[in-house]
Structure 1
Amino acid sequence: MDGQAVKAILFDLDNTLIETSRAGGRAIRKTSGLLKTTLGLDDNTINSICDKFKQKLLQESFDPSAGRSIDEVRVDHWEKSIQETVGSESPPSLAAQCYYLWKNSRLEVLSLSTDVRKLLKQLRCEYKLLLLTNGETQTQTEKVKKVGCKEFFDAIVIGGEHVEQKPFLSIFTLCFDMLQVEARDCIVVGDSLDTDIQGGLNAKVRATVWISSAGGARPDGSVTPDYTIPTVLDLPHILQQLK
């Protein structure tokens, strides 16, 4: 590290500032209850349906030009997950009920904690802050609005609105231009080695900070962040080292 001053911080959203995974787990549990009540299936079968849905989310490739909304696509995920597991048609509208229960249950518990809000307010007194989140535009916009991000950031960039998302250089260059800073003035903070940390390295930022609640163990062959912390609340310690 060359000791130059940090002027700006680029934050990831999901599982960095908000606990999306935990909210998703709660949403799946609520949806499991609906499936069990409606279909009268055993727990293993219900779990199989939900696992298939989660796998379809992971493999999702959404094309907004295809004429279907993200809501319609994800209703179809539930419909296919039920059919693939049970082998028969589900009751009319069940897939839609599952999707909207899952979606709304997840959104209603997403929030910036009091401590995270306090941290962002403090940091914004000294640094420019930008939220850079990958994902489909509607989905991420709903999260950003629900948790009230706007007041804490100088700019918000949602990957789905652009040709390339993290870790591609183009979206980081866009962020630097929006903040009127150079890459060397910035640090990138996020929970994904493949998108946040790799993207920061691609962009040649001042430093990359990996949020790893699991203790910092990295898969073989993964990129190496400059710093690793268990929670974003520990970021001030890293910033102090970078001064």
Structure 2
Amino acid sequence: MAAAETGAGLRALLFDLDNTLIDTAGADRKAERQVKDLLILQHRYGEFVAGLVIEKFKTKLEAGHPYSSTKIDIDKERTLFMELAIQETNDHKAAQDLATQCYLKWKKTRLEHIYIPDEVKAMLRELHQSYKLLLLTNGHSAIQREKIDVCKCQEYFDQIVVGGEYQEQKPARSIFQECFRLLGVKPDACVMIGDSLKTDIEGGVNSGVSATIWINNNNEMPDEESAIPDYTVKSVLDIKDILKNIKSKV
């Protein structure tokens, strides 16, 4: 176990992955469009029906499987979600080969559009000269590790923590405590940076980090129950000046 460093000062930055460092939502939209085109152009689906298949598939992805765990074959599970979406939409038994074709098209397209932009890479390299960097992402291990690998995140972070590999995910205090332990720092020496008020900001606030920075790239309006971030920006590229301000206060 790493010994916690003592002394005042900002020492570490915790970054979320999806829609903070990478445009997962944009990659999803491109993947969905490709599946719709496949259904329309190759399988004679109407635009509306193809869109309905996508919506049902998205709903199933978001809900997950009640028995999902790190031991499941995530590709088989998601192929089943696609098969059920097609079946429910067309009101007949979906051919498994069509579901497999659609899912593989979705997965391939999505991964092709998941990457850390060059300007964000440059920022991470610059920040790494002054801070320890840790990537903290929620989600199933296989899914998140796939994105982490394709983005080569290991090149930019001292530690990578995937929520699905622990008993609790963000915003649980326990996973933040694990991050502090891995970095060998105290909570008040860290800043949490992410796009979710519910997981990133709430988790950071509850775990006692020095400050939280909310990446509000969709002009989201917080509700009354949302955690309140210390700072709000539209892009992760806007955090450097804020970090200088935080560092001067810590």
Which TM-score applies when normalising by structure 1? 0.95
Provide the aligned length of Structure 1 versus Structure 2: 239
Kept in 2, the 8 Å contact 1:216–1:229? The answer is no
Matches within 5 A, 1:39-118: 39-61=43-65, 63-64=68-69, 68-118=72-122
Partner of residue 145, structure 1: 149
> Take 1:13 and 1:92, find their aligned partners in 2: how far apart are those partners?
32
Indicate yes or no: 2:210 matched with 1:210. no
Note if 1:195 corresponds to 2:199. yes
Instruction: State the Cα distance separating 1:6 from its structure 2 match.
Output: 1.2
Identity of aligned residues (%): 42
| Contact 2:69/2:140 (8 A) holds in 1 | no
Deviation at 1:40, TM superposition (A): 1.1
Tell me how far apart the structure 2 counterparts of residues 216 and 53 of structure 1 sit (CA, whole Å): 24
Q: Which residue number in structure 1 is paired with residue 169 of structure 2?
A: 165
Aligned partner of 2:36: which letter?
S
Distance 2:161 2:217 in 1: 25
Query: Does the CA-based 8 Å contact 1:14-1:133 persist in structure 2?
Result: yes
User: Aligned AA for 1:75?
Assistant: T
Distance in 1, Cα, partners of 2:140 & 2:228: 27
1:82-129 C-alpha deviation (Å, 9 max, x unpaired): 111110123341111111111110001111111000000000000000
Shift of 1:33: 1.1
Question: Which of the numbers 125, 133, 151 marks the counterpart of 1:121?
Answer: 125
Secondary structure of 2:201's aligned partner: helix
Any gaps of 5 or more consecutive residues in structure 1?
A: none
What is the CA RMSD across the aligned residues, in angstroms? 1.3
Q: Secondary structure at the match of 2:135?
A: strand
Structure 1 residue 193 displacement after superposition: 0.6
Between 12-21 and 35-44, report the one with greater CA deviation.
Answer: 35-44
Structure 1 residue ranges (4+ consecutive) displaced by more than 6 angstroms after TM superposition: none
- By how many angstroms is 1:214 displaced? 2.5
- Residue 37 of structure 2: aligned partner: 33
SS of the residue corresponding to residue 93 of structure 1 reads helix
C-alpha contact (below 8 Å) 1:164/1:170 kept by paired residues: yes
Q: 1:216: how far off? A: 5.1
1:5 maps onto 2:4 in alignment: no
The TM-score with structure 2 as length reference comes to 0.92
Give yes or no for contact 2:57–2:82 (8 Å, CA) kept in 1: yes
Alpha-carbon separation, structure 2, partners of 1:217 and 1:92: 41
CA contact (8 A) 1:216 1:230 kept: no
CA distance in 2, matches of 1:217, 1:234: 19
Counterpart code for 1:42: G
Q: 1:223 aligns with which of 212, 227, 230?
A: 227
The aligned counterpart of 1:180 is: 184
Q: Which range is displaced more, 176-185 or 215-224?
A: 215-224
Deviation at 1:5, TM superposition (A): 2.2
Q: Which of 53-62 and 8-17 deviates more?
A: 53-62
